[in-house]
Amino acid sequence: MKAKPPLNVLLVITDQQRATDTGFMGNPILKTPHLDALAARAMVFDNAWVANPVCMPNRSSLMTGRMPSAHGVIFNDRSLEPGVNTFVRGFRKAGYQTALMGKSHLQHGVSKNAMVPFRGGPSSQSPYPAGWDAIEDYERYTAGPVLDPEDYYGFGQIELSLDHGASVAGHHLQWALAQGGDLSKLVIDQDRDAQGSKRSKHWRQIYQPPYDER
């Protein structure tokens, strides 16, 4: 009898909402048809709890299976160390091809500014090569093609989309530029005074970019 081939594993992370803010979890107002269809034929973990109320510590906990106090990412001001053991590295060791598409947010891009003196002594020194924590720095992608690491927390291939909402950065930005996009219109300030923003008096305002998202 032939052995069954290993199953493909697809992990989808939506960025981001409460567990009750989806149709398949019973929300009567919000419409999430694609997530509902996926949940209908997938495994839904409906008794899961976050390890921290901030996003980066939770992403790092998901990757490592460890609490923020153990993996060190306790807030959004530091990057997950590149050499940590992740479940993705476990898949890779088992022979899987691994890839990351979309938002990662395992690095903040400002780790070098988060190093502080300890008890009046010299600042901490990173044991990792220079630039290890700049893979998700948006400026890295505005100057042209980039050389990606062969192992990014276990992922053998990465195509990153950085930041939030309609912001265009990372590999997503490079793709948009290759389609003829204008850098000055794709990279904009995300604030209420940004050129082209549609102002609203409501507290829930989401500032729109000055280009067509359709």
The model's pLDDT over 125-169, given as tens digits with 9 standing for 90+, comes to: 567 777 888 898 888 888 788 999 999 999 999 999 887 655 678
What is the structure's pLDDT at 115?
Answer: 46
**Catalytic positions:** 55, 105
Burial of 103 (0-12, 13-18, 19+ CB in 10 A): buried
Determine the straight-line distance between the first and last CA of the chain, rounded to whole angstroms. Answer: 51
Amino acid at 111: S
Is 80 exceeded by the pLDDT of residue 74?
A: yes
Alpha-carbon distance of 173 to 65, in angstroms, equals 31
- pLDDT category, 69, cuts 50, 70, 90? very high
- pLDDT category, 14, cuts 50, 70, 90? confident
Is 60 exceeded by the pLDDT of residue 114?
A: no
CB distance 68 to 60 below 8 Å:
yes
* Strands 157-160 and 99-102, bridge-based pairing: parallel
Question: What is the token pair recorded at 155?
Answer: 């992922």
Alpha-carbon distance of 174 to 165, in angstroms, equals 17
pTM of the model: 0.77
Residue 123's beta-bridge partner residues? 117
> In 10 A of CB 139, how many CB atoms?
10
The residue that leads in pLDDT, 48 or 119, is 48
Alpha-carbon distance of 133 to 131, in angstroms, equals 5
Question: What is the token pair recorded at 79?
Answer: 């990057």
Cis before 174? omega within 30:
no
Q: Residues near 91 by Cβ (< 8 Å), separated by ≥ 6?
A: 9, 98, 154
Is 50 exceeded by the pLDDT of residue 205?
A: no
What is the structure's pLDDT at 116?
Answer: 47
Which of 42-56, 100-114, 170-184 is predicted least confidently? 100-114
